[in-house]
Amino acid sequence: EAQVTQNPRYLITVTGKKLTVTCSQNMNHEYMSWYRQDPGLGLRQIYYSMNVEVTDKGDVPEGYKVSRKEKRNFPLILESPSPNQTSLYFCASSHGPPRDTEAFFGQGTRLTVV
Amino acid sequence: KQEVTQIPAALSVPEGENLVLNCSFTDSAIYNLQWFRQDPGKGLTSLLLIQSSQREQTSGRLNASLDKSSGRSTLYIAASQPGDSATYLCAVNTGGFKTIFGAGTRLFVKA
């Protein structure tokens, strides 16, 4: 089954403790993105990747890092999480550029930073 | 700066009613517009993708239209069912890798 898989689905952590949210897709997609969703604000793009070893910042990259060492994986790293990073996070992938093709989303990771 | 607005923020209708969800965007220079459905705990599901050269797309009971010049898109749901209850999001791609989302319309269909 074609899918985007995120882990973990739920995470509660403390301020300053490094964490990684994993994202994996099995569709051989080149393009992958991370978003955060906050009430009333819709989804906002954090980082995106056009291919292996090629990444760039989205609208809200502060406090996040990403890497793309393999085509299928695109982990999101929070080096020193803070309470304002409490949010619902989504990973997405698409076969081509978002302007040409539809995006497929993971089921989301609900992160709480206390 | 592109902004995407969805009105209303929430909508409650009786089962069987035809309904329209609205999406407006401030800059008509878009490449495509996509409608998603979001269910709690299940992420986003793509419903329809309209390229900028298209006027509408249909899938089953869903029909999405796009009017670039006026900066508007509508999602028409025919004969609504309780299973249609979800949050509906629209998103526009402004070129490259930039996709801007609206905040969504939460739909509740009463049995």
Q: Do residues B94 and B39 make contact, with C-beta atoms less than 8 angstroms apart?
A: no
Nearest CA among A21, A17, A50, A19 for reference residue A35: A21
| pLDDT given at position A1 | 82
CB contact under 8 A, B44 and A99: no
User: Which of A59-68, B38-47, B68-77, B84-93 has the least mean pLDDT?
Assistant: B38-47
In this predicted structure, the answer to whether residue A100 has a pLDDT above a threshold of 80 is: no
Residue among B43, B95, B101 minimizing CB distance to A42: B101
Q: For Cα atoms A38, A44, A48, give the angle at the middle one, nearest 5 degrees.
A: 140
pLDDT category at A40 given cuts 50, 70, 90 is confident
pLDDT category at B87 given cuts 50, 70, 90 is very high
Q: For Cα atoms A31, B43, A1, give the angle at the middle one, nearest 5 degrees.
A: 65
| pLDDT given at position B55 | 95
Q: How far apart are CA A103 and CA B108, in angstroms?
A: 25
What residues of chain B lie within 8 A of the CB of A9, using their CB? Answer: 41
Q: What is the mean pLDDT of chain B?
A: 93
| pLDDT given at position A5 | 96
| pLDDT given at position B42 | 78
